[in-house]
Chain A
């Protein structure tokens, strides 16, 4: 059985760096998208188990990526975690409306995030 496949979407290389390290260490397969456009391509090609999405990106924002994902029935198994510096109530609500499973404001606790990713994954994993 293959390990869970995680997509990390963020335009901040340093954040991607830390997330990538964490996911790999937990034994997940990791793909990376550096902006919204790359993220759309990636979700179209692969059915990820978890997508960790930044919201503010230069081209296509995280909401759009999430909505796009939720429109594809074949991606129903994908879990979406918003990871954003936008921390207002309205932003969080908007994130859940777009179809997120979880909204985590930045800066985040690495331990908590890893637990939450674990919980979102199917028990078999």
Chain B
């Protein structure tokens, strides 16, 4: 096809991407995000499938059969684990505002700047060739599409291809800067970029399926036909089996491990899965959507590979480009163009995301520290710090250009010399070096900075020696003898067989040794020394992230005033002594401090830093290490190596004390609630008692008024009528006397009852002859009985056992019951009263029975209440004081006995009481 046409379409496509990203950003501004859903999230994860997948899978399948599946099987197997591991990483990064794998590792191990730089270095060295591979894919696909058919079937990177690759790279750099590096805030999401990537994922899927279906159904008669014809050829049929193409189970295992590491830790995967994650819950759907994507895109790889091998029996075509070459050869240039755009999608999305991720890392961990150190001596005043924010942005843009330039340079210069075939897997192996420190950091609190650094360094060195060095032998950068005999003839150091370990393929061999040293040093050094206070604190923040409450970080930060020397030390560590002093002085000019003792006095208590100073320091540090790391550094109040242990332990203890205090407060609150309930109950009881008391008082006064009324009326009559008849006069005076007596009796009863009710009454106990008491009581009421002509039936057997009791009180009880009985009896001579005593095993039973008017059953309990009629006032007025039975009951209860009544209206009543021998 015409190169200009292809170029036009390429750039048209990129412009379309711009449009999509721009629209997404506009939607974000309007708060109607297109990106905040699990589908876009899963599709953006598919940035995993690069041009290497798009073109390379077919190529690998054509030569090694099913082996290509390995790197997709890993992520698929990883999916269920993602909920555990990835969610935890997302949570941590959100809480600590981490924006890259380098941030993550450096923050975990004591916020080590050196470790961050190391991780960044590994990423850049490991991943830039991978980006170069994408550029090469773009160039190669452009090349095959624009070449005049029939000239030469072998690909050759001519100037046009390199040029198109260069322009594409420049366009991508532009896109990345516009949509990826827009603000200083690295934690901000790039929704436009994410949506563009998701769309590219969709396009590459459709385009690849189109290619596959075209070959399967357009050039062959479906799957069965392709496979049947492939099976007929012995060199192809061996590709059907898992190990047929020479892929050992060890290799399979290595592929799984590498791809599982890659899906988690590749900078671009970390970017889309962690940094760009909008909602943890999206992970649930993405967990199966993403593997589904991988399965679908791989369905047609084998038919394409076999189809290519079958149609290109001469081996003239590059198997890596079957996807494009087959439709072209079949005379479908437009289909090929579409497929080319799919490949462009795969490559460009990878380049964009990877570049953003690397640029943030490079800016935070390489460029900014460098920039700060270089410019600090020449910095003039606070304005310089204001410029640092801009510098961060520029440094990130610079990093984008740098990364792409490196990649393009690598492609243009080294790419010709080095075979790029295995770059993808070697890149995976580099990233796999992070696995021990990341997993250890997530689940083990014992890991230290020293261990992590040593492990990473060793792993990376071995990776380079065993995996990268051999690839350099081909182009002659390294003498071949190093590979075959080892450096300086030491065969134990042969890169392909360290210490004589043979029989493994290069990748497994390299991964084995690098991980062995990596894990060994990480664990060994970590166990050898106690983690520092800061490391312990960070370990807790990471490992226990699900247990820490969301607001936890905030409370431990600015509120606890860090000692000024610590903050100073922190700033000195990053800015240098001179700059720190300048900055602190500038701060003091703005906010004059209270008089502070000179810090050089060693005995002085360190003055606490102003919280505003902490905020100021955060801004200062943001320019150096990025806002997330700066905030983290200040959160723990100091981040330098000579951190005061007491300080961090203090913060920890304070937060624990806060937690404890909070727990205590909650407990106290519960107790208070309980107490309130009890108080309410007590109050209700008191009110009821109060009400009872009121009614009691009311009834008492009412009862007192009756005799009082007679007394007053009669006295007034006596006064007003001095000429009264003598008999009337006598009658009135006698009545006054009687009513006075009634009044005092009533008062005595009320006081008695009050004594019993308050529990102040005591018994004067002695062994009593109950028969004797009954006789005395009958004597006391004898006159009443005679007045009403009542017949008395006595049933008191002789020889009753003695009963311990208070004689006077029991007399009172019997007299009261007897006079009640008398009152209820008629006075026409038919009245009968029975009195009896009976000895039981445990005590005596006494009863007083009458044949009077009786008591209705509903009152059998109530009559024992004092003034029980107080609550039934309109019903009937009791005879007597209304206190007698209440007092009687109290006395019986004081003797540990009980009293009850059996009666029916008009059929008399029988009051019984039981008094125990042993109370």
A interface residues, Cβ below 8 angstroms from B: 11-12, 14-15, 17-19, 21-22, 25, 56-59, 61, 63, 85-88, 106-111
Chain A residues with Cβ under 8 A from B555's Cβ?
A: none
CB contacts under 8 Å to A, within B864-898, are: 873-874, 876-877, 879
Which of A25, A57, A109 touches B721 (beta carbons < 8 Å)? A25
A87 partner residues in chain B, CB cutoff 8 A: 701-702, 705
Contact between A86 and B713, CB atoms less than 8 A apart = no
Residues from chain B with Cβ under 8 Å of A85 in the complex: 701-703, 705-706, 709
Q: How far is the CA of A82 from the CA of B720 in the complex (A)?
A: 24
List residues of chain B with CB within 8 A of the CB of A14. 707, 710, 714, 735, 738-739
Determine whether the beta carbon of A58 is less than 8 Å from that of B877.
yes
Does B16 reach chain A (CB closer than 8 Å)? Answer: no
Could you say which residues of chain B place their CB within 8 Å of the CB of A88?
A: 698
- Selected contact of A15 from candidates B706, B720, B732, CB within 8 Å: B706
Report the Cα distance A123→B45, complex, angstroms: 112
Given known contacts A57-B877, A58-B877, A107-B705, is B713 in contact with A19 (CB within 8 Å)? yes
Chain A residues, CB < 8 A from B879: 58
Closest Cβ neighbor of A18 among chain B residues: B713
**B877–A17 CB distance below 8 A:** no
CB contact list, B715-767 vs A, under 8 A: 716-717, 720-721, 728, 731-732, 735, 738-739
Question: Is there an interface contact between A59 and B876, defined as CB atoms closer than 8 Å?
Answer: yes
User: Closest residue to A63 on the B side, CB-wise?
Assistant: B874
Given contacts A17-B732, A21-B717, A85-B709, 16 further A-B contacts (CB under 8 A): A11-B877, A14-B739, A15-B709, A56-B873, A58-B877, A59-B876, A61-B874, A63-B874, A85-B703, A86-B702, A86-B873, A87-B702, A107-B708, A107-B709, A107-B711, A107-B712
**Contact (Cβ within 8 A) A107 B874:** no
Q: Which of A15, A61, A63 contacts B713 (CB 8 A)?
A: A15
When distances are taken between beta carbons in the complex, the residues of chain B under 8 Å from A12 are 706, 709-710
Contact residues in A for B701 (Cβ distance below 8 Å): 85, 87
Select A17's contact among B707, B735, B876, beta carbons within 8 Å: B735
Query: Contact: B713 with A108, CB < 8 Å?
Result: yes
Q: Which of B707, B709, B717 contacts A108 (CB 8 A)?
A: B709
In the assembled complex, the Cα of A88 lies from the Cα of B705 at a distance in Å of 13
Q: Which residues of A contact B711 (CB under 8 A)?
A: 107
B625 to chain A minimum Cβ distance, whole angstroms, is 82
Question: B720 to A110, Cβ gap below 8 A?
Answer: yes
Docked pose: A15 CA to B873 CA in angstroms? 20
Q: A106 and B705: CB pair below 8 A?
A: yes
| A106 CB contacts on chain B under 8 angstroms | 705-706, 708-709
What residues of chain B have their CB less than 8 Å away from a CB belonging to chain A? 698, 701-703, 705-714, 716-717, 720-721, 728, 731-732, 735, 738-739, 873-874, 876-877, 879
A22 touches B706 (CB 8 A): no
Q: Which of B710, B738, B873 contacts A18 (CB 8 A)?
A: B710
A64, closest chain B residue (CB): B874
Alpha-carbon distance between A11 and B878 when the two chains are bound, in angstroms: 11
Nearest CB of A to B497, in Å: 110
A-B contact count (CB 8 A): 74
Closest A residue to B739 by beta carbon equals: A14
Interface of A is mostly: loop
B709 neighbours in A (Cβ, 8 Å): 12, 15, 85, 106-108
Question: Which residues on B sit within 8 Å (CB–CB) of A109?
Answer: 712, 716
A22 to B718, CA, bound (A): 11
Q: Mind listing 14 A-B residue pairs with CB under 8 Å?
A: A14-B714, A18-B710, A18-B717, A25-B721, A56-B873, A58-B879, A61-B874, A85-B709, A87-B701, A106-B705, A106-B709, A110-B712, A110-B713, A110-B717
Known contacts: A25-B721, A85-B705, A106-B705. The answer to whether A18 contacts B714 by CB under 8 A is yes
| Chain A residue contacts of B739, Cβ below 8 A | 14
Nearest to B698 among chain A residues (CB) is A88
Q: State how many angstroms separate the Cβ of B417 from the closest Cβ of chain A.
A: 112
CA distance A25 to B88 in the complex (A): 106
Which of B712, B738, B873, B877: most chain A Cβ within 10 A? B877
Please report the C-alpha to C-alpha distance between residue A61 and residue B472 in the assembled complex, in whole angstroms. 122
- Cα–Cα, bound, A112→B710 (Å): 15
Asked if B710 and A15 make an inter-chain contact with CB atoms under 8 angstroms apart, the answer reads yes
When distances are taken between beta carbons in the complex, the residues of chain A under 8 Å from B877 are 11, 56-58
* Chain A residue at minimal CB-CB distance from B713: A18
Residue of A nearest to B742 (CB): A14
Q: Do A21 and B712 contact each other (CB < 8 Å), given the known contacts A11-B877, A110-B720? A: no
Q: Smallest CB-CB separation from B735: which chain A residue?
A: A14
**Contact (A22, B874) CB under 8 Å given A12-B710, A106-B705:** no
Q: How far is the CB of A92 from the nearest CB of chain B, in Å?
A: 14
Q: Closest chain A residue to B869 by CB distance?
A: A56
| Cα–Cα distance between A111 and B717 once the two chains are bound (Å) | 9
Q: A61 CA to B874 CA in the complex, in Å? A: 6
A109 to B: closest C-beta gap in Å: 7
Taken together as a complex, chains A and B put the C-alpha atoms of A22 and B720 apart, in Å, by: 11
Give the chain A neighbours of B713 by CB distance below 8 A.
15, 18-19, 22, 107-108, 110
Chain B residues contacting A63 (CB-CB under 8 Å) are: 874
A11 cross-chain contacts in B, Cβ below 8 A:
877
Asked if A58 and B716 sit within 8 Å, CB to CB, the answer is: no
Q: Complex Cα distance A109/B739, Å?
A: 17
Is the pair B720, A111 in contact by a Cβ cutoff of 8 Å? Answer: yes
A59 nearest CB neighbor, chain B only? B876
Determine the chain B residues whose CB is within 8 A of the CB of A25 once the complex forms. 721
> Which of B710, B713, B738, B877 gathers the greatest number of chain A CB atoms within 10 Å?
B713
Closest-by-CB residue of B relative to A94 is B874
Least Cβ–Cβ distance between B919 and chain A, in angstroms: 38
Question: Which single residue of chain A is at the shortest CB-CB distance from B875?
Answer: A61
Closest beta carbon of chain A to B619's beta carbon, Å: 76
Q: How far is the CB of A55 from chain B (nearest CB, A)?
A: 8
Q: Which residues of B contact A19 (CB under 8 A)?
A: 713
Asked whether A58 lies within 8 Å of B705 as measured between CB atoms, the reply is: no
In the bound complex, CA of A112 to CA of B889 (Å) = 43
What B residues does A17 contact at CB under 8 A?
Answer: 710, 714, 731-732, 735
- How far does the alpha carbon of A4 sit from the alpha carbon of B613 in the complex, in Å? 104
In whole angstroms, how far apart are the Cα atoms of A58 and B824 in the complex?
13
B870 to chain A, nearest CB (A): 11
B737 to chain A, nearest CB (A): 11
When distances are taken between beta carbons in the complex, the residues of chain B under 8 Å from A56 are 702, 873, 877
Q: How far is the CB of B906 from chain A (nearest CB, A)?
A: 14
- Give the residue among A19, A57, A58, A106 with the most B Cβ atoms within 10 A: A106
Chain A nearest Cβ from B495, distance in angstroms: 109
Of chain B, the residue at the smallest CB distance from A57 is B877
Distance A18 CA – B717 CA, assembled complex (angstroms): 8
Q: How far is the CA of A125 from the CA of B744 in the complex (A)?
A: 42
Q: Nearest Cβ in chain A — how far from B605, in angstroms?
A: 73
Report which residue of A11, A18, A106 has the largest number of chain B beta carbons within 10 angstroms of its beta carbon.
A18
CB distance from A23 to the nearest CB of B (A): 12
Q: What is the bound-complex CA distance between A58 and B878, given in angstroms?
A: 7
Complex alpha-carbon distance, A56 and B705, angstroms: 13
CB-defined contacts of A61 to chain B, threshold 8 Å: 874
**In angstroms, how far is the closest chain A Cβ from the Cβ of B825?**
16
